[in-house]
Amino acid sequence: MNYWLMKSEPDEFSIDDLANAPGGKARWDGVRNYQARNMLRDQVAVGDQVLFYHSSCQPPGVAGIAEVVAAGYPDPSALDPESPYFDSRSSPDNIRWYCVDVRFVHRFPALIPLERLRHSVELEAMPLLRRGNRLSVMPVSKAHWDFILGLAGSDYSGTAPGRTG
């Protein structure tokens, strides 16, 4: 199982929006960067765990946890002229972009601010904190995952939550 960090602007789609979505599930679409696309297409798998990151807000930071429930598949929003993610160079038999489905797992009691992450020596190597990094999907190591869950100050154990169907 792998760990990821995915960015979303909470004004557009927040962790609460995910929690309130039907079944707590939503499509993670609109990724329009080839490096991120390739990760969604080739590496992100069902069961992978996701740090849900709020970007372009005050303060930015990690808001909680989601889980991948559908691996990469062609992103339908690329074909929708009404969508802000419409891509005129995609066609039904050649969609250039990929998306995954995720499900809400856990909302941290308090958002972990980006600034807090920056102050952690343990996280120095995180791609998120590298200067100039703009990827909206990036891998997270097990060690970084565990450390960040420790910062969350919740009793969330990182094990699969009970599911009622």
Minimum distance, C-beta of residue 45 to DNA, in the bound complex (Å): 22
> Minimal CA–CA distance to 129: which of 148, 114, 151, 107?
114
Q: Is 7 in the site for DNA (CB under 7 A)?
A: yes
Q: Indicate the residue among 5 and 18 with the shorter CB distance to DNA.
A: 5
Q: What does the buried/exposed string (b/e) look like for 44-66 if buried means 16 or more CB atoms within 10 Å of the residue's CB?
A: beeebbbbbbbeeeeebbbbbbb
Q: Examine residue 134 and tell whether it contacts DNA (CB under 7 A).
A: yes
- Least distance in angstroms from the C-beta of 54 to DNA: 8
Does 114 bind DNA (CB under 7 A)? Our answer is: yes
Q: Does 91 bind DNA (CB under 7 A)?
A: no
- Is 114 or 158 the residue whose CB approaches DNA more closely? 114
Number of amino acids touching DNA (CB under 7 A): 19
Give the whole-angstrom CA distance, residue 18 versus residue 112. 18
| 55 makes contact with DNA (CB under 7 A) | yes
Q: Is 133 in the site for DNA (CB under 7 A)?
A: yes
Dihedral in degrees, nearest 10, Cα atoms 118, 124, 126, 132 = 70
Bridge partner residues of 86 (DSSP): none
Residue placing its CB nearer to DNA in the complex, 27 or 32: 32
Given a contact cutoff of 8 angstroms between Cβ atoms, the answer to whether 51 and 151 are in contact is no
Give, as ranges, the residues between 30 and 49 that touch DNA (CB under 7 A): 32-35
118 binds DNA (CB under 7 A): yes
- By CB under 7 A, name the binding residues for DNA: 7, 32-35, 55-57, 60, 89, 114-115, 118, 131-136
